[in-house]
Amino acid sequence: MTESTENNQIAVKVEGISKKFGAAVVLENINFEVKEGETIVLLGASGSGKTTILRILAGLETPDSGRVILHGKDVTNLPARMRGVGVIFQSYALFPKMTVEQNIGYGLRLRGKPKTEIKEITNGLIELTGLEEHRKKHPSQLSGGQQQRVAIARALAYNPEVLLFDEPFGALDAQIRTRLRREIRALLKEIKVPSIFITHDQEEALELGDRIAVLNQGRLEQIGTPFDVYNKPATEYVATFLGAANLLLGIINGQNFEAEDIFLKIEDDINVRDGQSVKLVFRPEDVFLRKPENLTQNYQQLTDGFVEEVNFVGAFERVVVRLNISNRQPIIVTRPKTETTAFPLEIGQRVTIGLVRFRILPNYTLASERASRVV
């Protein structure tokens, strides 16, 4: 099998999964696929349904309808132990009185594998996860990141068909979490096991996932690459949940967005009718507060306004600007150091506001209109 064929092979298929707990609808018609060697992140707030999806994939819950297919086999009604799925929980669930190598080989011993095979597999996984100098240590002697690697190695010992990660970095502090997710990303690329993470952390999703599936109240709002989901949000929920976004209400007139004295030419094809109420969506980093003479990106003037707040936030400056329109709507702008040095701002200063990138979404006014419809 060629590499390209292998990479396109579907490892996990979720078809029409729905689930209720009593009268509460937890999942509604969830569909997605995971390719061989791919990492998908299920991103959503608490109560969005992501943990229930993970439990259904692991065989710990049964869906009311729909199917789970692993490598072409329908496993919807199979018990967890027969699915070949490895689960890494936030708590790691390591045995405190066992060493690293004993923890990793525990499942193999339960399955009655020969000692030579257990030793060979354990040694290989210890090397793979960079735990050579810790093999004789107990969990209490390890850092959170090291414990995480032991948990992954133990799951890999079963030669799983898919790995499931249940918010695996939630118990770690921010600095360790950032470093560890990069290490885990590199490890997953090396072992090429299809993986599914669940998280509510937007930065984590953007850094870990080959694709991100955004969940909202049991519905799948959008699935795509981190670039597409961030820069081309399909719904207002995706735009505002995955990073910061500014929203401005207006209407469509031909190929233009209009709101009072604001006129923006829309160059992308949009499936909305003339006169339809829409929302202009733009990220804080896609706003410029002056007309840059040498800017190579497409630039359209939005309107003018005045600076209300200027806050230093490390690598960026965060600015609140009030638009010169009737409701004096505020917007958030982030500026890199190069821009803040070349063009410093003061409170009360009047500025020209321009956009280099934006998105048009329909403004749904009826509860019956599904928020997950895509423009």
CA angle 161, 162, 168 (to 5 degrees): 145
Residue predicted with more confidence, 234 or 174? 234
Is 39 part of a structural domain of the chain? yes
Half-sphere exposure of 131 (CA within 13 A, CB side): 34
Same domain, 311 and 202: no
pLDDT (average), residues 127-142: 91
Same domain, 211 and 347: no
Cα distances (angstroms) measured from residue 357 to each of 86, 223, 251: 41, 21, 18
Last residue of a domain, one of 205, 236, 267: 236
Q: Of 188, 117, 186, 180, give the one whose Cα is nearest residue 155.
A: 188
Is 93 part of a structural domain of the chain? yes
What per-residue confidence (pLDDT) applies to 228?
94
β-pair type (256-259, 262-265)? antiparallel
Question: Which residue range(s) make up the domain with 199?
Answer: 3-236
Distance CA 268, CA 358 (A): 10
Same domain, 228 and 249: no
Residue predicted with more confidence, 75 or 362? 75
Same domain, 275 and 334: yes
Residue predicted with more confidence, 178 or 54? 54
Half-sphere exposure of 132 (CA within 13 A, CB side): 4
Same domain, 105 and 175: yes
Same domain, 314 and 232: no
Same domain, 45 and 113: yes
Residues near 176 by beta carbon (within 8 Å), at least 6 away in sequence: 143, 144, 145
Which tokens hold the place of 220? Answer: 């799948």
Is 375 part of a structural domain of the chain? no
pLDDT band at 314 (very low <50, low <70, confident <90, very high): confident
Least confident of 52-56, 91-95, 346-350: 91-95
Same domain, 77 and 156: yes
What per-residue confidence (pLDDT) applies to 3?
42
Q: How many residues does the chain have?
A: 375
Same domain, 263 and 122: no
Is 367 part of a structural domain of the chain? no
Is 369 part of a structural domain of the chain? no
β-pair type (39-43, 195-199)? parallel
* Whether 174 contacts 185, CB under 8 Å: no
Last residue of a domain, one of 215, 236, 257: 236
For residue range 101-125, what is the model confidence (pLDDT) as tens digits?
999 998 888 888 899 999 999 999 9
Average pLDDT score over the chain: 87
Q: Check whether 296 has a pLDDT greater than 70.
A: no
What per-residue confidence (pLDDT) applies to 368?
34
pLDDT (average), residues 21-45: 95
Residue 11: which CATH number?
3.40.50.300
C-alpha torsion sign, points 319, 320, 321, 323: positive
* Whether 213 contacts 223, CB under 8 Å: yes
Last residue of a domain, one of 212, 236, 260: 236
Residues near 147 by beta carbon (within 8 Å), at least 6 away in sequence: 92, 94, 139
Q: Of 153, 185, 237, give the one whose Cα is nearest residue 39.
A: 185
For residue range 205-216, what is the model confidence (pLDDT) as tens digits?
999 999 999 999
What per-residue confidence (pLDDT) applies to 177?
76
Number of domains composing the chain: 2
Is 228 part of a structural domain of the chain? yes
Same domain, 229 and 197: yes
Same domain, 90 and 207: yes
The beta-strand segments (E) located in the chain are: 10-21, 24-35, 39-43, 65-70, 73-74, 85-88, 162-166, 195-199, 211-216, 219-224, 246-253, 256-259, 262-265, 277-282, 287-288, 300-313, 316-323, 330-336, 350-355, 359-362
What per-residue confidence (pLDDT) applies to 184?
82
Distance CA 241, CA 122 (A): 41
pLDDT (average), residues 193-206: 92
What per-residue confidence (pLDDT) applies to 355?
93
Q: Check whether 264 has a pLDDT greater than 70.
A: yes
Is 372 part of a structural domain of the chain? no
pLDDT (average), residues 174-185: 78
For residue range 221-232, what is the model confidence (pLDDT) as tens digits?
999 999 999 999
What per-residue confidence (pLDDT) applies to 1?
38
Distance CA 91, CA 74 (A): 30
Q: Of 299, 287, 280, give the one whose Cα is nearest residue 333.
A: 287
Residue predicted with more confidence, 291 or 63? 63
Which tokens hold the place of 218? Answer: 């049991």
Residue 285: which CATH number?
2.40.50.100
Same domain, 126 and 205: yes
Q: Check whether 307 has a pLDDT greater than 60.
A: yes
Distance CA 202, CA 285 (A): 16
Is 374 part of a structural domain of the chain? no
